[in-house]
Structure 1
Amino acid sequence: MDARKQKNLKQLGLVAAALIVINFAGSYIFKRFDMTDDKRYTLSEASIKVIEEVKDPLYIDIFLGGDLPPEFKRLQNEIRQVLEEYQVYNSNITFNFVDPLAEEEDVQKNIQEMYALGFSPTNIDMTRKGKKSLIQIFPWAIANMGQKSVRIPLLVNNFMTNKDDNINKSVQLLEYNFSDAITKLAITSKKKIAVIKGNGEMPDKYMSDFLISLKEYYVLGEFNLDSVRGDKQRTLDNLERFDLAIIAKPTEAFTDEEKAVFDQYIMNGGKTLWMVDRVAADLDSLRNAQATTLAIPRDINLDDMFFKYGVRVNANLVQDLLSTPITVQSANGEVPVDWPFSPVVRSRENHPINKNINIVKLEFASQIDTLKNNIKKTVLLESSEQSKTVGIPAQISLYEFVNKINPSQFNKGNQTLGVLLEGKFTSVYENRMKPVKFRNILDKGKETKMIVIADGDIVNYKYANKKLLTEGIDPWLQQNYSNREFLLNCVNYLMDDEGLVKIRGKNVNLRFLDAKKVQEEYTTTQIVTIGLPLLILGLFGLVFTYLRKRAYAK
């Protein structure tokens, strides 16, 4: 064997040995590289923490299999990439793509089963070789662990947003949706929330969906402030056992003793979510022969407390051209009419709480002023630029906007409707006589957070015109409101469960082909994407063959 062959064999042996060493080391040392600009394939620390908590087999079925249009194929691929990342960190996770409409003889049966499971379909246009057809898909997944199951939405359908942007939003929310589902399945230790009663708060019937959603993360308890009439210190002690207090649309004034309980609860670091109506106005009050009502200020005796904390909920009503209609009875049945008192809010996406959510529906909302103090304030909800405020008292008529609406009058700009407050609050009773003498009264509070929303009906999102919405869809806007998602984000953030909130705010930017341009230049596109690579490959083969023959000819 000549020296050249020995050298080649030696090099081959070294390469083989190096590959074996690298492969062996790779089984113990794991590293993946995400080269995308937006780091879409890099899981957040919060997701990794959630994934690592899965101790039992977790099965995920994705009902987005089969032949799909390019944009949904891309969504399908992104789902696969995300779940493959999940599997890297926990082998207990298994996923499978399913096409529920694949078997023609079982299509109707499968569709009925999907409906029974609560999976609503989406109709999409599909174009092949210039021919359009309408197909039905079920953009959902279901996660199963033991005896527990969680539905997972995969497709966003945001108001006034085109198809490509909705797909992009859907991809942005994939990690959140799957991590959220795993959290619901794997959570063991739950924090506590007090749902405040005793001051005419909203009945549970109208906030049941929100409360049921909260139970998947937290322990809920009804807390009646009537107990403050007895042992006031014990009432405060009992309230402080809860991590958060939710106050939804109180209609009766708080006593000074009740305010003092809340004030000291906040001073000691308690979190609060306030959903309050500063004006007494309701659609039910319009159901009379004249179809009119008088909107008057509602005194719930919280103005001085909110003012001290840094906001003022004004006794007015916001009207917005971007609103959902209400129905009135006519000779031809129920017909929709414009109703600026029901604004639908498009998020500014300036905070993880309101990031990647659809429209939020309000009803008879008031405007909020933010005041200067040492508290950090973030506006979470605001009306559109085509808004105005109406002073109170004011007469409201069910028919006042029929053929009378004047867009030029809606020129007062964005009105603040919901605010996040963070910091160390000062007691409303600082330098004042205390209505209750608690132990260890604090005038300067501990670090905490609260959210004030100037509409109690924000939690009543399953109803429109006091009627239950079918599958939660507004029949006139054909939209699912994001009130639940927004309020859940509020609670998660207030409870310091910021991991899921931050995942929800993740940005992913997909680059889409111009479908119209591709259709117009279908033949050219085929030549460029298929013909040109084949031509280059053929030329390379000819050149390589020529050079090889030339080398051996010598």
Structure 2
Amino acid sequence: MKSKFIKILAIVGGIVLLNVLASFVFFRLDLTEEKRYSISDATKTLLENLDKEILIKVYLDGDELPGGFERLKRAVNETLDEFQVYGGTNIEFRSINPNAENDTKKREDFYAQLMKKGMQPSRVIDNKNGRQVENIIFPYASVSYEGKEVPVQLLKGTEGRTAQEKLNQSYENVEYELANAIRKLTLKEKKKIGLLTEFTDLKPLNFADLITSLQERYDLFIIDAKLSPTFQGLDALILPKPTLPVDDSTKYKIDQYIMNGGRALFFVDGLKVDSVSLEGTFAQPLELNLTDLFFKYGVRINSNIVKDGASSAAIPMVVGNMGDRPNIQPIPYRYFPVINNFGKSLITNNLDLIFCKYVASIDTVQAPGVNKIPLLMTTPYTKVLNAPALVTYNEARTETNQEEYNDGVKTIAYLLEGKFESLYKNRLLPSDSQYKSFKAESVPTKMLVCSDGDLIVNDLSPKTGNPLPLGFDKTTQHIFGNKDFVMNAIDYMIDENGVIQARGKEVKLRPLDKLRTRDERTKWQIINIVLPLGVVILFGVILYMLRKRKFAY
């Protein structure tokens, strides 16, 4: 009896000791294949360094959410639980059901408050008990810090994908969207971005959405190249849709900025397209004095226009008359490719479609030490028009001849990484005043070259003259992923160990085999219901027999 008591006491003491030791040692183990319950090291660091409380309100809540939204809600709650592990008492979150209020007037007033903050509801039709029921869902959260609040869109997915695929993309993006909002609010020291606009004849209003988005996250400077002796000190430099030649002095400054580790983004057209008419106009070569610079860095923007016969935006065209009025219909315009073919990169992961206009193809050339990563690509069904290229609106009326669109996939944006060689290597003499500070080879750095200057240009409203959102298509009223592409690229290039790493999360869809579930339904019901019960019963019988034998006289 005494030995049994000592044994029980030892077991209890061991359990207590184990719990005491566990309070000093913290670890979490995620056994899922894609690490769906883990967050990135950058997010952990962001949360551990919080100095004040962050309040997160999640409006994706309710008793009867459709299945896909219920899964997204669980993903949000699981992610926020993980945030609390690393943020401690500085992370507080609440789940709010926008439909909880029974009073119709109060509920609609609450809807109006959320919409005023930029949260637009999704109307989802669901089948319940054989009836169609409309659900109003707000797939949003809000993040508050020191009196500032930003909305976070939780439902984001690529156009053209199924509802299940869009929800899965949203699932993958939850950590990044929430962490990015926290970073935006808690940022103490902003990176410096330079916008080199003096070589474009477009107005600041044409870059209004880009400028506003950059100012939210960074210190933005409009650069005057003539007054700036150097571009050093900037974390990134953007050259947006130049239409005028870049002078040699500025080109040298760009080269040396890159040689000293600067990050640069170039959005440069291959051809100059003036106002297009129904009959057409000829697109001419665009001389920007940048060809030799890009060539030295490993790419060449060709003097051509790529037409995409399989994926393009639409323009309104008169296709006939309806009574005494013209019948206007949206017709695919192959000079406006819609990009849905992305290279593998954190920049393009889970990115929405990209809306482009009059793009050129980019070729790569030899540049030792430079890794060239394609980011944006057309479909294989393309037709390339070399300069001078006739561009006409009437072309939209013609059918796509598949035999003509056989030029294959064309890349229109490259990410270049590595050590670059200066264009001016072996050109400067020791007597030159710039010789002492000159660098012939860069430290490891990055740049982005895109052959569509319009990708970062927002249109203006024809009624008010106010800027429209970047990537907004007036014909379909859809906002494409242009702005996300640019902001992701800047994040990746200047904050490579930042929360952009959270975009690498991938959660695989594992749908059931519909044919097998139909044909083998009974077998799997037996395996999942009868077999576990049989194992439990068998274990009980064996245990009973062993006890009977042990205590039999």
Same fold by TM-score, threshold 0.5 exceeded?
yes
1:342 Cα deviation (Å)? 1.0
**Secondary structure at 2:72's aligned position in 1?**
helix
Trace 1:86-165 onto structure 2 (pairs within 5 A). Answer: 86-91=83-88, 92-105=90-103, 106-129=106-129, 131-165=131-165
- Larger mean Cα displacement after TM superposition, 359-368 or 263-272: 263-272
- Any residues of structure 2 matched to 1:439-454 within 5 Å, and which? 439-454=436-451
Cα deviation for residue 315 of structure 1 reads 0.9
Change (3 A) 1:333 1:50: farther
Moved more, 537-546 or 298-307: 537-546
> Could you say what secondary structure the match of 1:160 adopts?
coil
Unaligned runs of 5+ in 1: 228-234
Partner Cα distance (1:257, 1:73) in 2 = 58
Q: Which moved more, 1:426-435 or 1:334-343?
A: 426-435
Provide the C-alpha distance between the structure 2 equivalents of 1:266 and 1:546, rounded to a whole number of angstroms: 78
1:316 and 1:498 map into 2 onto residues whose CA distance is: 37
Kindly tell me the number of residue pairs found equivalent between the two proteins. Answer: 537
2:494 corresponds to 1:495: yes
User: Is 1:365 aligned to 2:359, yes or no?
Assistant: yes
2:471–2:481 contact (8 Å) kept in structure 1? no
2: CA distance, partners of 1:509 / 1:84: 22
Structure 2 match to 1:412: 407
- Tell me the distance in 2 between the aligned counterparts of 1:534 and 1:445: 64
Tell me, yes or no, if structure 1 residue 9 matches structure 2 residue 5. Answer: yes
Matched letter for residue 389 of structure 2: A
Output the TM-score relative to the length of structure 2.
0.87
Alignment match, 1:216: 216
Q: Would you say the 8 A contact 1:159–1:479 is kept in 2?
A: no
**Contact persistence 2:470–2:482 (CA under 8 A):** no
CA distance 1:472–1:424, change in 2 (3 Å): closer
Instruction: Kindly state the Cα deviation for residue 528 of structure 1 after the two structures are TM-superposed.
Output: 6.8
- Deviation of 1:542 (Å): 9.0
Q: Distance in 2 between matches of 1:99 and 1:475?
A: 34
- Alignment of 1:319 onto 2:307: yes
Whether 1:391 and 2:390 are equivalent positions in the alignment is: no
1:103 alignment partner AA: E
SS in 2 for 1:484: helix
1:61 equivalenced with 2:57 (yes/no): yes
Matched with 2:240 is 248
The answer on 1:299 being equivalent to 2:263 is no
Contact 2:414 2:448 in 1 (8 A): yes
CA RMSD of aligned residues (A): 3.3
DSSP 3-state at the match of 2:312? coil
Retained in 2: the 8 A contact 1:122–1:139?
yes
Distance in 1 of aligned mates of 2:496 and 2:129 = 49
The residue number in structure 2 matching 1:19 is: 15
**Deviation at residue 429 of structure 1 after TM alignment:** 2.4
2:229 pairs, out of 236, 239, 244, with 236
Within 2, Cα distance between the matches of 1:525 and 1:50?
Answer: 49
What residue in structure 2 maps to residue 232 of structure 1? none
* Corresponding position of 1:484: 483
Distance 1:498 1:327, change over 3 A: farther
How many Å apart are 1:456 and its aligned residue?
Answer: 0.6
Which of 339, 345, 359 aligns to 2:339? It is 345
Q: Distance in 2 between matches of 1:43 and 1:312?
A: 39
Percent of aligned positions that are identical = 29
User: Matched residue of 1:120: which SS?
Assistant: coil
* Residues 1:191 and 2:191 aligned together: yes
In structure 2, the residue matched to 1:260 is 252
- Indicate conservation of the 8 Å contact 1:62/1:141, yes or no: yes
Stretches of structure 2 that go unaligned for 5 or more consecutive residues are: 320-324
Matched with 1:169 is 169
User: Structure 2 vs 1, CA of residues 371 and 128 (structure 1 numbering), >3 Å: closer, same or farther?
Assistant: same
* Structure 1 residue identity aligned to 2:7: Q
1:302 counterpart letter in structure 2: L
Shift of 1:84: 0.7
1:417 is paired with a residue whose SS is strand
| CA displacement at 1:165 relative to structure 2 | 1.8
**1:327/1:334 contact within 8 Å kept:** yes
TM-score, length of structure 1 as denominator length: 0.87
Q: Contact between 2:469 and 2:479, CA under 8 Å: does it hold in 1?
A: no
SS at match of 1:408: coil
8 Å CA contact 2:158, 2:350 repeated in 1: no
Give the aligned residue type for 1:172: E
Relative distance call for 1:516 and 1:78 in structure 2 (3 A) is farther
Distance 1:196 1:30, change over 3 A: same
Say if 2:303 and 2:360, in contact at 8 Å, map to a contact too.
yes
**Residue type at the aligned position of 1:225:** A
How far off its partner does 1:450 sit?
A: 1.2
Q: 1:332 to 1:24 in 2, by over 3 A?
A: farther
More displaced stretch, 464-473 vs 415-424? 464-473
* Offset of residue 19 of structure 1: 2.2
